[in-house]
Structure 1
């Protein structure tokens, strides 16, 4: 059973996740959404992705370009910029630090729990 991750927590990491996805290859909004779903983050409202892409574009982290689509009208594809790559790398470092700190707390809590049960 998948845990119910709070929307606040997801919003805090969504930009970093999207930058990592776009670092692999440019994509359009719905394509990014499908990739996010592939990683099990399917509780993210689709209406969250487009405003975040717009904000990221205004900050210079991604660049949007209209491109023809074989399946219908032109689509706006997003490309990560050099600033976006820097922010992605910073996100990864911050995530790894937080992951380590939280895992340490969890491990210590488990040890304390086991001592209490002895």
Structure 2
């Protein structure tokens, strides 16, 4: 199940991270910790940081460097207008897919009785 979960998560992690950023701006480690709090315990920091680079390049977040008590400044990510639009598209797509999948699942379950 772990490899299947990993593959499915790859397609949804961007939307999950954008959703986390709707609550408040955050830096990479905070986002990783929040994912773990939400049960995504296998998500590693490197995956989150690579995703943050991609969503920054795609213009979905604004980035502000803030001083850190330990080491170099932290990059704090906040969701911008483009990111909110992308997040809306993500949830619309998620709703469509999850409804279709649940329909197939229920149909298969009902036929198996």
Taking structure 1 as the reference length, the TM-score comes to 0.87
Cα distance in 1, alignment partners of residues 98 and 92 from structure 2: 10
Deviations 1:41-65 (A, max 9, x none): 1111221111110111011001211
Gaps of 5+ in 2: none
Partner of 2:62: helix, strand, or coil? strand
| Cα offset, 1:107, TM superposition | 0.6
1:72 to 46, 66, 70: 70
Residue 110 (structure 2) aligns with: 111
Residue 99 (structure 2) aligns with: 100
Report how many aligned residue pairs link the two structures: 111
Taking structure 2 as the reference length, the TM-score comes to 0.91
| Cα offset, 1:68, TM superposition | 2.7
Partner of 2:67: helix, strand, or coil? strand
Q: Which runs of 4+ in 1 moved over 2 A?
A: 3-6, 71-74
Q: CA-atom RMSD, angstroms?
A: 1.3
Give the structure with higher Rg (CA).
Answer: 1
| Cα offset, 1:72, TM superposition | 2.7
